[in-house]
Amino acid sequence: MTIHEIRDKMIAASVYQVIIGLEVHVQLKTESKIFCGCSTEYTLEPNIQVCPVCAGFPGVLPGFNEKVKRLALRTALALSCEIAFFSQFSRKQYFYPDIPKNYQISQYDLPLAKNGFLKIKAEGKIKKIGITRVHLEEDAGKLLHAIGSEALEYSLVDLNRSGVPLLEIVSEPDLNSPEEAFFYLQELKPLLRYIEVSDCNMEEGSLRCDANISLRKRGAKKLGVKAELKNMNSFRAVKKALDYEAKRQEEILSQGGEIIQETRLWDEKEELTRPMRRKEEAHDYRYFPEPDLLPLLIDEEEIEEVKRSLPESPAQRRERFQIQYSLSDYDISVLTAEKDLADFYEAVVKEYVKEKKLSPQISLKSQRRDRPVEQYYKKIANWVMGEFKAALKTVKNSIQEAPVTPVDLARLIIKVEDNKIPVGTAKKELKKAMGIKFGEISLPASATVISEENAIKKVIQEVIQENKEVVEKFHQGKEKALGFLIGQVMKKTQGRAEPKLVNKILREELLDTGRQG
Amino acid sequence: MELNELTARQLNERLQKKEIKAVDILESVFRRIDRVEGQISAFTSLDKKRAIDVLSSLDKKGKTEGNSSLYGIPAAVKDNICLKDGKTSCSSRVLKNFISPYSAAVIKKLEEAGSVVFGKTNLDEFAMGSSTETSFIGPTHNPWNIEVIPGGSSGGSAAAVAADEAIFAIGSDTGGSIRQPAACCGVVGMKPSYGLVSRYGLVAFASSLDQIGPITKDVYDAALVLGVIAGSDRRDSTSIPDLPKKDYTTSLSAKVKGMRIGLPREYFLSGLDSEVEEAVREAVGLLEKSGAEIMDISLPHTEYCLPAYYIIATAEASANLARYDGVRYGYRTSRQMDLGQMYERTRGEGFGDEVKRRIMLGTYALSAGYYEAYYLKAQKVRTLIKNDFDEAFKKVEAIITPTIPAPAFKIGEKIDNPLQMYLSDIFTISVNLAGLPAISLPCGLSKGKLPIGLQIIGSYLGEEKVLNLAYAYESQTDWHRRKPKLT
């Protein structure tokens, strides 16, 4: 056995219980920001969705976007929370260039909702994970400390994200393994997408997760000292970071050591956590009620109305799929993972039934015993999960944008059934139908990366002309001057120039100017 | 009489009769500025060209009938109210060259009414002070005696109106910053009910206390300007929703017969200057003669106003002023270093002593472990103070007090003694804590030839009663017509 294997064995037979609580931040899908009219659309071009309010200019005031309340309410109710009739915004104060006011408008002692739960499936059993609180806040901007691999001498501030509505969902420390944490996130994300409150795109930052983890001896009542983990960019990373941290803490404790309460950052490359700040270095946020905003008032009627408008949750849908279509657990989990896919599946079934002029079947479990399960449910599921989903993935299209409609697919399946075309041809046809249309869809100009050498060269030459003193410094051997020049190029191209090319061409051009000089 | 000496009402009449042009008013104002501004220093910046352009185009349109009563009348605005493409310095180094990308709601309302901003007036840095001495550009001088403070923080606005360098001005009042300088300079200043005038574009000092209001040459003009600037604003969540448009001048009947007026005994205790007390009692006597019924009342929590105010106001200010950090706009230290030092030096060099003192007080009051003892306690006291007024207004329709405990003091006299300075606002602070409307109007001159102010406080949204009572007093006296002699 290797040392690692021995260690893993020891952990498996651990005397410690892992306690995990998750803090999930989701961006709410509103058209405009929480306290101003700026667009919330994700964009690479920096500082174009900014106004005096979300840039924290003198004299501005926040105006609450009522649509945010509705989405927050949907989420809180989908998580079975108690809604506060009276909740309040507070100012959370700390200095950092990504929060323009140097305080964040958030909720503190009077959050929007409390005491909810989310059911997860762990080791074949259903487990109820408590939701401590759900509260609203504004997102911060973004800082850029490097362009590509080039560290900058200064930092760039992008306030496009500043003021995007965020919902923080805090779980109880009910999760007892990194796997459970992973399952929790895997249950939460589709739920939020089903109820259409967030895109939950971790790459674009519309879903972010921090984790609190501590260990205690099995049977002990008192919680151990916790570490807060940040900087995980995927659900897998959350699990890996928790795995690492559980082992780290276990090692310390089993050797009689003590855990220090601290915030630790996950290093994705090295696959380990590093200390960021200790408890005693923790901020005193000096919270106090936001005097520029009125308390958030919600009445019974509004709650009832939102409740009525909530769609089926993924859990409810899974249950229904099992009863209605008698599909396998695996098929159900694939089909219901995304609301759009489940909707698409059901639409194909409907069209199929229509085309075949079948009487609509409602094969409830009770009836199933005396009636054979409709074979076409499984057949359609195979097409949707297989060829259709694969094609969708290849062309990176969303289901709404897919050129193939449920009718198209239903007809194609029927054609195959009727032996009008062979399966292989039908699959090819489907791919073709999905692919051809894709060629017609072009990316918006603002999102494209400039990778054309001549275009970048032109900008670089301008920058060199405009910054002769800095160029001079570079030639005197000041490598830092390069960082500044790169920054200028990125500024002119609004961050769209390919960093590697900028670096390469800039060095070439600088050499040229050096020779001329 | 020169045009610059007239009120908005008088000028409006002449404009209506086409005796004068709007541009003539501005020219007259600037002639006066050329002559006396060197002594007064009421303004932080002037923009004659901009004003002339707007007013001459109004003159060209020529139509005067049916126009608003501020049509063609230029405005001086306190320099903590944002003016698009104009300087908004807050009399602070940290915003010395700041150009606002937008105009405040009040400025838009003034412009819609046909007025135009021709100058921004001096203030205590970020409106923190009672003497206009903490301004980064230097103090404003009182037109009645240039060795004396004009009051503050809207000292520039009050001095400009008193010196006839402006027809009217706009100020802001967090703990008395309109009323106290109005009293010091012998003009009329009104703080409306909290939420009546939009705060959008007013650089925040203490958000739950700040209100914008007029400083004018008489009560009629105060009613006139208030009617223009009041109103609901979606962008200010604390502005009162669905306010109907009101012409406050229509409530000026000067009738006070049977009106019950309360004199709070806590405001007439020792420490009140005898000349001030005499003048205020005389004014009350006059109203009594006109048929008002004078009653002795009590506001029992008065002594806690000042401490509660200095906790709430500084706590809010400590957060409101956090944004001046050198990152996005305004002053940044020239000594470049790491982020923490950049913040420290920018703010250390950018803010004056009084601002720093208040930021530190407020930061302390909100710190973990002190929040309950200070901030939360102060909020409870604030509720008690509000309750005091609620109780009082069950018995009376208006409350009369002195505006300031003594006539204005000499420049430099109290600048090193913040506690003495804070006492200047002892009679005005409670009104902000309770969110009520109040006016200050001249009611006498001291032996040293300095103005004395009478404060009339109304119930929430009781602006009309306040204005009418003030108008009734003013109609029987001529204090508002007295002018300082400037050479």
pLDDT band with cut points at 50, 70 and 90 for residue A514: low
- The sign one gets for the Cα dihedral B436, B245, B212, B268 is negative
Report DSSP letters for A427-489, one per residue: HHHHHHHHHHHHHH----GGG--B--HHHHHHHHHHHHHHTHHHHHHHHTT-THHHHHHHHHH
How confident is the model over B21-28, as a mean pLDDT? 97
How confident is the model over A438-457, as a mean pLDDT? 55
b/e burial code for range A53-62 (CB count within 10 A of at least 16 → b): bbbbbbbbbb
Asked if A52 lies within 8 A of B368 by C-beta distance, the reply is: no
Task: Tell me which residue in A62, A95, A288 faces B375 most closely, judged by beta carbons.
Answer: A288
Q: Which of residues 121 through 160 in chain A touch B, CB cutoff 8 A?
A: 155, 157
Partners of B236 on chain A (C-beta within 8 Å) are: 61, 63
Report DSSP letters for B298-323, one per residue: --TTGGGHHHHHHHHHHHHHHHHGGG
b/e burial code for range A183-202 (CB count within 10 A of at least 16 → b): bbbbbbbbbbbbbebbbbeb
Continuous segment of H or E residues that includes residue A268: none
* B269 phi/psi in degrees, rounded to 5: -95, 180
Residue B65 is predicted with a pLDDT of 59
**Token pair listed for B367:** 């710190």
Is residue A217 within 8 Å of residue A190, measured between CB atoms? no
Pairing of strands B260-264, B293-297: parallel
Tell me which amino acid residue A91 is.
R
- Provide long-range contacts, Cβ within 8 A and 24+ apart, for A205-209: A205/A27, A205/A161, A206/A26, A206/A27, A206/A42, A207/A24, A207/A25, A207/A26, A207/A27, A208/A24, A208/A25, A208/A26, A209/A22, A209/A23, A209/A24, A209/A25, A209/A185, A209/A235, A209/A238
Continuous segment of H or E residues that includes residue B294: strand B293-297
Which residues sit opposite B411 in a β-bridge? none
Asked if A58 lies within 8 A of B203 by C-beta distance, the reply is: yes
The Cα–Cα gap between A445 and A437 comes to: 19
**Token pair listed for A66:** 């009522």
How confident is the model over B103-127, as a mean pLDDT? 97
Show the DSSP H helices in A277-405 as ranges: 300-309, 314-325, 329-336, 339-355, 365-368, 375-383, 389-394
How confident is the model over A446-468, as a mean pLDDT? 76
More confident residue, A503 or A94: A94
Task: Tell me which residue in A58, A60, A291 faces B95 most closely, judged by beta carbons.
Answer: A58
Is residue A224 within 8 Å of residue A19, measured between CB atoms? yes
The Cα–Cα gap between A63 and A210 comes to: 29
The Cα–Cα gap between A404 and A434 comes to: 6
> Which of A36, A54, A57, A287 to substitute to test the interface with B, most B CBs within 10 Å?
A57
Q: How many beta-carbon pairs below 8 A join chains A and B?
A: 99
pLDDT at A360 over 70: no
Is residue A90 within 8 Å of residue A108, measured between CB atoms? yes
**Which one, of A219, A242, A223, lies nearest residue A14 by Cα?**
A219
* Residues in chain B, overall count: 487
Is residue A232 within 8 Å of residue A266, measured between CB atoms? yes
Partners of A292 on chain B (C-beta within 8 Å) are: 204, 207, 237-238
Which residues sit opposite A126 in a β-bridge? A121
Residue B445 is predicted with a pLDDT of 97
pLDDT at A285 over 70: yes
CB neighbour class for A219 (10 Å; exposed up to 12, middle 13-18, buried from 19): exposed
* Owner of token pair 């599946």: A345
pLDDT at A333 over 80: yes
- This model's pTM is above 0.90: no
> How is residue B67 annotated by DSSP?
-
Say whether residue A291 is in contact with chain B using an 8 A CB cutoff.
Answer: yes
**Which one, of A467, A508, A511, A473, lies nearest residue A489 by Cα?**
A467
pLDDT at B394 over 70: yes
pLDDT at A364 over 60: no
pLDDT band with cut points at 50, 70 and 90 for residue B64: low
- The overall average pLDDT reported for chain B is 96
Asked if A292 lies within 8 A of B367 by C-beta distance, the reply is: no
**Token pair listed for A85:** 């009739």
Q: How many CB atoms lie within 10 A of CB B83?
A: 22
Is residue B431 within 8 Å of residue B462, measured between CB atoms? no
Residue A376 is predicted with a pLDDT of 86
**Which one, of B353, B351, B320, B347, lies nearest residue B335 by Cα?**
B347
The Cα–Cα gap between B182 and B474 comes to: 15
pLDDT at B42 over 50: yes
The 10s digit of each residue's pLDDT in A414-440 is 988 888 888 888 888 888 888 744 333
Task: Tell me which residue in A157, A286, A294 faces B363 most closely, judged by beta carbons.
Answer: A286
pLDDT band with cut points at 50, 70 and 90 for residue A444: very low
**B235: closest CA of chain A, how far (Å):** 5
Asked if A52 lies within 8 A of B323 by C-beta distance, the reply is: no
Secondary structure class of B31 (helix, strand, coil): helix
> Which of B85, B94, B235 to substitute to test the interface with A, most A CBs within 10 Å?
B235
Residue A517 is predicted with a pLDDT of 44
For residues A105, A109, A114 and A119, what is the CA-based torsion angle, rounded to 10 degrees? 70
* A205 phi/psi in degrees, rounded to 5: 80, 15
Is residue A383 within 8 Å of residue A333, measured between CB atoms? no
- The overall average pLDDT reported for chain A is 87
Secondary structure class of A498 (helix, strand, coil): coil
The Cα–Cα gap between B265 and B234 comes to: 40
How confident is the model over B21-36, as a mean pLDDT? 97
What separation in angstroms does the CA of B177 have from each of A56, A60, A104?
A: 25, 20, 29
pLDDT at B99 over 70: yes
pLDDT at A293 over 80: yes
The Cα–Cα gap between A448 and A461 comes to: 22
CB-based contacts of A449, cutoff 8 Å, min separation 6: A496, A497, A498
* B361 phi/psi in degrees, rounded to 5: -60, -45
**Which one, of A148, A143, A50, A157, lies nearest residue A497 by Cα?**
A148
Compare all CA atoms of chain A with the CA of B317 and give the residue at the minimum distance: A291
Q: What angle do CA B293, B294, B300 make, to 5 degrees?
A: 135
b/e burial code for range A437-467 (CB count within 10 A of at least 16 → b): eeeeeeeeeeeeebeeeeebbebbeebbeeb
CB neighbour class for A26 (10 Å; exposed up to 12, middle 13-18, buried from 19): buried
Is residue B125 within 8 Å of residue B136, measured between CB atoms? yes
Compare all CA atoms of chain B with the CA of A91 and give the residue at the minimum distance: B319
Residue A445 is predicted with a pLDDT of 41
- The sign one gets for the Cα dihedral B223, B226, B230, B236 is negative
Best mean pLDDT range from A145-149, A313-317, B151-155 = B151-155
Kindly give the interhelix angle for A300-309 and A66-78, rounded to the nearest 10 degrees: 70
Task: Tell me which residue in A55, A60, A292 faces B237 most closely, judged by beta carbons.
Answer: A292
More confident residue, A45 or B177: B177
pLDDT band with cut points at 50, 70 and 90 for residue A283: confident
ipTM of this predicted structure: 0.96
Partners of B323 on chain A (C-beta within 8 Å) are: 56, 58, 100-102
Residue A366 is predicted with a pLDDT of 44
Pairing of strands A227-232, A262-267: parallel
Is residue B55 within 8 Å of residue B116, measured between CB atoms? yes
How confident is the model over B210-216, as a mean pLDDT? 98
Is residue A117 within 8 Å of residue A79, measured between CB atoms? yes
Show the DSSP H helices in B236-376 as ranges: 274-289, 305-320, 339-350, 353-365
b/e burial code for range B62-78 (CB count within 10 A of at least 16 → b): eebeebbbbbbbbbbbb
* A174 phi/psi in degrees, rounded to 5: -100, -5
Residue A75 is predicted with a pLDDT of 98
How confident is the model over B442-470, as a mean pLDDT? 98
Partners of B235 on chain A (C-beta within 8 Å) are: 61, 63
The Cα–Cα gap between A143 and B418 comes to: 41
Residue A416 is predicted with a pLDDT of 87
Which residues sit opposite B171 in a β-bridge? B213
